[in-house]
Amino acid sequence: MGRKEKGCIFCKRLTKDDDRKNLILFRGKTAFVILNKYPYNSGHLMVVPNRHKRDLEALTIRELTELMQLTQKCVQVLKKTFSPDGFNIGFNLGKAAGAGIDDHLHVHIVPRFTGDTNFLPVLGQTKLQSIGLEEVLDFLTPGFSAKGGSAPGGKRAARAKRAKKS
């Protein structure tokens, strides 16, 4: 998996200009969509508020609204692109709840497919991905470029730096 990064990976990604390299699919006004680098399934997305907040109740109504609108958009794009049989969608708030990154809350959107569990994760602690991250980005990017905001490649680092200060 590589070594653990120091600092908040979400805040770091927001300040970078190369969205594709940083797996960012979409930047909204108060939140963004990013592909999970270590996905449970191909297409595992996360919706993250731009502001670095640990607690759900610390978000504004505007942030909460965009978080849910982008979650809905993720489901729509994943349905159209991968035709999953279902989804796991949710927050892991705090280490005890299973959060790998517990200081910057985020929503997980995991597409699920009938029969997508097997013996590899149970016995070998290994997860097989049938499609690479670059390919997933290629498949999903067109679905996010039609909505207002910034699709990958846009220069939005200055706004992200301002949001982080809030």
- What's the sign of the alpha-carbon dihedral 100, 35, 24, 33? negative
104 tagged catalytic: no
Cα–Cα distance measured from residue 11 to residue 163, given in angstroms and rounded to the nearest whole number: 9
Phi, psi of 42 (to 5 degrees): -60, 135
Q: What does the alpha-carbon distance between residue 65 and residue 73 come to, in Å, rounded to a whole number?
A: 12
d(CA 124, CA 105): 29
Which residues are CB-neighbours of 53 under 8 A, at least 6 positions away?
59, 104, 105
Q: How many CA atoms lie within 13 A of 148 on its CB side?
A: 4
Q: State the CB neighbour count (10 A cutoff) for residue 124.
A: 10
Cβ atoms within 10 Å of 87's Cβ, excluding its own: 18
Catalytic residue among 44, 52, 106, 108: 106
Catalogue the active-site residues: 106
